[in-house]
Chain A
C-alpha cells in the first residue's frame, strides 16, 4: 500500500530508461541472475543456418506459427462398445502404468462426460502431453474401470475413437 506513489514517480524513470513501462526500470540492462554470454560464430561453410537470436526481441517467428501451445483432439465413444446402457468417460493426461496396472491422476482430466448412448467431445491437449488415458466407468452396475491409452502422434487435428 505504500507503493502506489512510488510507482507513479518511478514511471518517469522507466519511460526515460527503456521507452516503456513494461517491466522496465532504471537498471533494466542488469539481469537479476547470470546470463550466458552469447558468441555468434559465423560458419562460412553453412551460411544458410539462421543466426540464433541473441534475445527474444530478435526472435523471428515463422509466418505459419501462432504460438498456440495445445492442439484439438476429437474424442468419440459409444456405450455399445462396452456392453452397457450407461457409462461415463474421462480423458486425462497424467497416469502411470506399472505391471499392467493403470493409476490415473483425475485432476488432469480434460473432459468428463456421460455416454448415453454415444458422445463426441473436442478437448484441448497441452502440447507437451505425449499420451492420454480414457477411463470408462459403468454407471448402472458397479464394475472395475475400463482403461484405454493413446500415444500422441504429434500431428494437429486428431481424432480418437475410444472403444
Chain B
C-alpha cells in the first residue's frame, strides 16, 4: 500500500468543520513546515525548541509557502500536489481553497501581508514569478491570482519571505546572504546588503520589533537580523531542526520572548512515567553546570516525548553490557562528569510507571569518570521491551519524578530477555552498515555509488538455537538519482510460512504503518520497506538530489524499523549470513532505461553481487544491457568485468559526491578489488577517503 493513495480520504477526514477555530490571538510561537509529506512543527525561536504539532494524517500533505494571516488568525500554505491553498485552523484541521489564474507550478516562498489580506507566493523562473492572491472573502478578486512581477525580471534564490510588521515591505535573505526588501505594491526590490551568512533559508519570521529571523535548512541554525539597522547583520540566535524543505510562518505582531532560555533537563520516556513538566516529570536544573551523565547535557523548555519531534537527548551516560534478564546481574557502564548520587529505576512489571519498589540502584555515590556497576532485576520481571530511568544529582533521596536542582536524567528503552538468548548484531550493537546502489542496472552507471544509499543495522535474537526475532533498522542516507525505487530485504533460509506476517511491523519515521510489510507470494521471507523511496525523501530546494551534493545536507527524511517475530522452529544456522539479501526493485508505473519496453515494476530487481533475485524477477532481463549474469553458475547482477551494481560495507560509510567515481573518493578501492579483497581491507574507512570527494554531514 502506498501512503500517497490515502490522500483524498485523509483530507476529508481532517477538513475544516463549518465552525473552524482560528488561533485565539497572535501566537508568539513560530511554525515550520518540513519534509516531503509535510510535518508541521511549532518552534520557539528563542530556544530552537520544536514539537510536531500536526496530526499524523498530515504525513500525506505536500505543503510549502506557509503563512500566518493576521486578518483572520489562520495559517495558510500552498499544497504543491493539489495546486490548492490550504487553510489551517488552531486545531490543525484543514480546508482546501482553489485559486484561479495561478500558473501550474510549485511555489516555495510565501507570506500574507499585514497591510492587506492578500497572500503572496513566489518562485523564480521566466514562466513563474511573484503572485498576489486575495484572501478577503468580501473582495471582488477573492482567490483570484494576479502576477505582480515575472520570475525573470525578479530572479532571486530565496526559499521564504516575510512581511514586516509595520513598514509594509516583504523581506527575505537569498542564498548568498543578501537581505532583500520587496515592495509588492510597486513590484520593486532593494538589496539592503549582505548579512554575513549564506545558505538556504527556508524559514523566515518577523517579530513586532522588526527583527527578521532566518532558519538555515541544512543545519537548522536560526539567525536574527535587525532590519532597522542601516547595515543589518545576522547573529546566531538558536538551534532549530534541519531539513531540505523548510517553510516558516509566524504572526509578525508578536514579540519573541528571549527570557525563555531553557535551563532544565527532562527525560524522554512516555509521559505515563512522569516525564513532561505538566506531569511533574523528572527534571534537573542547570545547577553550577558541572554535574551530568556522559559527555554533555541538553536543556529543554519541556520534555521531547517519545513519538513526538525527533529527540535531541544526550543519552550517553549509561551503556548496558549484558542483557537484562530476570534475577540475573546486569552490568552497565556509567559515566559521570563529577561526584553525584546515582539512582536507577526499571519498569519491571511493564505497567507504565516506575513503582517505588522497582528501584534497582539507590543513592550510589559515584565520582567523576567511568564506572562498571551492576544491578539485579527482580525475579518477577516480565520479558519484552520496557523503560529504564537513570538520574544523577547532588541531592540524594531523589524519586523517579519531580525536579532536582542539578544533574541529569536519561531514559532508556530496554529489552528484558530470557536467560538463554543469544543476540547477534550487524555490523555492531549500535553501528550502521551501508548499502550503496547504482540503480542504472542493467546499464553501467557512473559508479558514484550514491544512487540509493541506505544505512542499516540488523539484530537477531536466538533462543535455544532457534531464531526468535529479527530487527532491521536504518535510514535512507542519500538518493543521487531520479529513478523510482522500492527497497526490501529478503531473508534467505527463513520461509515466509515461518514468520508471523501479521505481527511483523514496519515503522517509518516513528509511525507504525497500518499494514504488514511482508510480501505474501515469496518463498523466503521478504519485507518491503518502501514501494517508492521517493514517497519519503526529496532533494529539496536548490538541490538536484537528496544528500549527494555539497551544501545539500538535509536532515534524514526517512528512517525505518522492521520487526519480524519468527514463530516456527527455524534454526539460526539455516538462515543466510548477514546482511541477508537487501535489494532494490522498480516502483510500479515508472519507466526505467531503454532496455525495457515498458515500466518493469516489481519484475525489476538489483541485488548484491551473486545474490539470486526473488521469484518476482523476470529472468529474461538477465543479459540485457551491460548485465553479464549467468544463473547457471550462480553469478548474478554483475557486468562482464565482474563488477556489481551494489556494495555492502560493514561501516557507516561516507558515500562519494554526485558524479564522483568511487575510485577518486576511495583511492584504495581498486587495489582492494584487484587483490581479491586481500589488501587494503579498510579501504572504506573515512581515514582512507579523499575527504573533498565524499559527502560529509
Binding site for B on A (CB under 8 A): 1-5, 7, 10-11, 14-15, 18-25, 27-28, 30-36, 50, 52-53, 55-70, 72, 86, 88, 90, 92-94, 103, 106-114, 116, 119, 121-124, 126-128, 135, 137-140, 142, 144-145, 154
B136 interface contact, C-beta 8 A? no
SS of B interface (majority): loop
**B-side interface size class:** 35 or more
Task: Assess the B422–A88 pair: CB atoms within 8 A.
Answer: no
Q: From B138-146, B613-621, B660-668, give the one contacting chain A.
A: B660-668
Given contacts A21-B439, A69-B684, A137-B322, contact A113 B673 (CB under 8 A): no
Distance A139 CA – B330 CA, assembled complex (angstroms): 8
Task: Assess the A23–B673 pair: CB atoms within 8 A.
Answer: no
B644 interface contact, C-beta 8 A? yes
Q: Lowest 8 CB-CB distances: which A-B pairs, in order?
A: A22-B440, A61-B642, A128-B682, A22-B445, A107-B430, A56-B447, A20-B440, A126-B650
Q: Which of A72, A107, A114 contacts B325 (CB 8 A)?
A: A114
Binding site for A on B (CB under 8 A): 36, 38, 62-64, 80-81, 106, 108, 123, 245, 319-323, 325, 328-329, 331, 333, 370, 372, 374, 419-431, 438-441, 443-448, 450-451, 480-483, 534, 538-541, 544-545, 548-550, 573, 577-579, 591-594, 608-610, 638, 641-644, 647-651, 657-664, 669-670, 673-674, 676-678, 681-682, 684-685, 692-693
A-B contact pairs, 8 of them (CB 8 A): A1-B81, A22-B443, A31-B664, A56-B661, A69-B684, A106-B320, A112-B322, A137-B322
Task: Assess the A23–B677 pair: CB atoms within 8 A.
Answer: no
Distance A127 CA – B688 CA, assembled complex (angstroms): 14
Distance A68 CA – B660 CA, assembled complex (angstroms): 22
Task: Assess the B692–A33 pair: CB atoms within 8 A.
Answer: yes
Task: Assess the B322–A139 pair: CB atoms within 8 A.
Answer: yes
Q: Which of B447, B541, B545, B610 contacts A55 (CB 8 A)?
A: B447
Given contacts A2-B106, A67-B673, A127-B677, contact A109 B429 (CB under 8 A): yes
Q: Which of A2, A35, A72, A145 contacts B80 (CB 8 A)?
A: A2
Task: Assess the A19–B593 pair: CB atoms within 8 A.
Answer: yes
CB-nearest residue of chain B relative to A141?
Answer: B329
Q: Which of B329, B431, B641 contacts A59 (CB 8 A)?
A: B641
SS of A interface (majority): loop
Task: Assess the A32–B658 pair: CB atoms within 8 A.
Answer: yes
Residues of chain A within 8 A (CB-CB) of B682 are 127-128
Task: Assess the B446–A28 pair: CB atoms within 8 A.
Answer: yes
Task: Assess the B36–A21 pair: CB atoms within 8 A.
Answer: no
Distance A109 CA – B444 CA, assembled complex (angstroms): 37
Residues of chain B within 8 A (CB-CB) of A28 are 446, 659
Task: Assess the B440–A24 pair: CB atoms within 8 A.
Answer: yes
Residues of chain A within 8 A (CB-CB) of B661 are 31, 35, 55-56
